[in-house]
Amino acid sequence: MVLNKGVLLETAQQRELHLVAGHTNSAVWAADVLDVEEKYVCKPMQDAAPTWAIAELGPELTPYLSRASARKAVAAVIASHDLKTARAVVELGVTEAVDQGKKRPTAARLSEIAVELTAPSIPEQKAGSEISDPARKVQPSLPQLLPLSKAADEIHERAYKPLAPAAVKAAAEADPVTLAGYLDSLEAEVGRVQARIVAARKLIPVDAEVVE
């Protein structure tokens, strides 16, 4: 209904049908035809614009964008990026919503996913770079500290990178049940590591000097 009204108003405005009907003001004429206040005449055209924008996503995705706020969020992604990015955002949003027992993704979540998928990646630091990275300091000479020195790099490579939104999205499409199991296992392991870190900090002498 919103789309139909928007299209009809836009067509009427372009063809100046208000003049044909004997009116000099298109807004006054449209308000009379639609039986609404004059100040609301432009709203159907404004609401119809996002509907037009998301139409190219296809009939398999557009039903999940029945709310105007969701359509506006996705239309913004199309305008600022492209249709391919918007489709990826909606697909991931729908997958999450279904997993949570919801009928459709919210506009807020769609906007968050868009930011996650389009955020610029931080380039990896090249070997020999002069940029200081606390997690990648020179390997310690004491053998007791070597395993801990490598721990952060290992977690980054083996856990943080595989959890990138694009990688998780692909895994969810391939086998969501198995993915959920892996995430549960990983979450439990992270909890154990966190508990060990808390215990380890208690073993550091209070007056120990911290070298920057």
Q: Dump pLDDT digits (tens) for 169-202.
A: 888 888 888 888 888 888 888 888 888 888 888 8
Contact 56, 90 (CB under 8 A): no
Report the percentage of the chain scoring pLDDT > 70.
68
Beta strand extents in 15-117 (DSSP E only): none
- Rounded Cα distance between 71 and 198, Å, is 45
Give the per-residue pLDDT at 129.
Answer: 44
Q: Hey, what are 1's tokens?
A: 């209904």
The residue ranges of every structural domain in the chain are 1-41, 52-119, 138-202
Give the per-residue pLDDT at 204.
Answer: 81
Is residue 71 classed exposed, middle or buried when 0-12, 13-18 and 19+ CB atoms within 10 A define those classes?
buried
DSSP state letter for 87: H
Angle at 33 between CA 28 and CA 37, to 5 degrees: 55
